Chain A
């Protein structure tokens, strides 16, 4: 008997996050084409989250296939104060602006990891806020329909992160 889907999923890792981010991005585009707006927003948000996490652990020296555990994610939150950021109370691991802040700050803190332009990290910070003004992981529990401008906002942010994934 073939393994069931959850059992076929390997541990989270940078390569897995990036590959899944592409798939969820494409899934979201199909949903948006079919006017399934909230579903599209929901998946685009996750694709941004995965790209941010992949970039953070890459900056931190993880190789593409090193498992990223929940303990690693929690450790990242604990690291935040040492780079001048306090993770929002509650420790929400889906907080896009917090991942953006952590990524930018860690790269500013690590020698040889700094961004080559000062405008780029600013854009990471603002793009995560723009997406998070619309996206939350709890959207899946609600029947509300996203407005067109909300769909455009999150899609534009997701596209921006994909366009710049290599520089994150």
Chain B
């Protein structure tokens, strides 16, 4: 257990250090955070044009959370890709340490960046939502659910990273899945508005039920009211995490057997 904790902390430290070196404060303030805000603003204006203040409010919650959850997805997917680029993946595979706590630790910087994005988006854009804004206490009450939804996305990110491990398109696939989730997960309009087949896709992905629960809590529901949605979100997150674990294990085993991981 102590060893697993040490591995987790090592992964967390590595992810934070890499994040800090990749995104120094000027870059975070000049590119990452503005992108969170501006992307949400674009869809809020579009929603306002299409459906008025109510749809704009819907889009603000959806995009603030959607951006955050997708950051978590991409960060975990890309953490596998980065090891590949840096040539350290064979070393990780050969190391005796358990890679599961390491992978969880590697997701930490993604969670932090995602949460920073949610907070910044709400803080900057809520004052402009005159007449159809949010009660601060309801937003704070929904905060644990936001963290929870960000976490449930990690399983999918890890799964995508594992699937694309032998390919060179990991980042592209993560990005495109993330964009597609903006369409099918009820980020900008309710899932019910989609064609039935796409509704089914949306409901089988993480984020969809978490987002429904977050919206309900912001609008006044209690955690007990949204317990079924939270349960579904947790279940879906676990299913993806389990699939990712199996896929990653299979990939690593194949890499150890063939010894050709550097070729990917």
> Are A and B associated in one complex?
no
Q: What is A's interface to B at a CB cutoff of 8 Å?
A: none
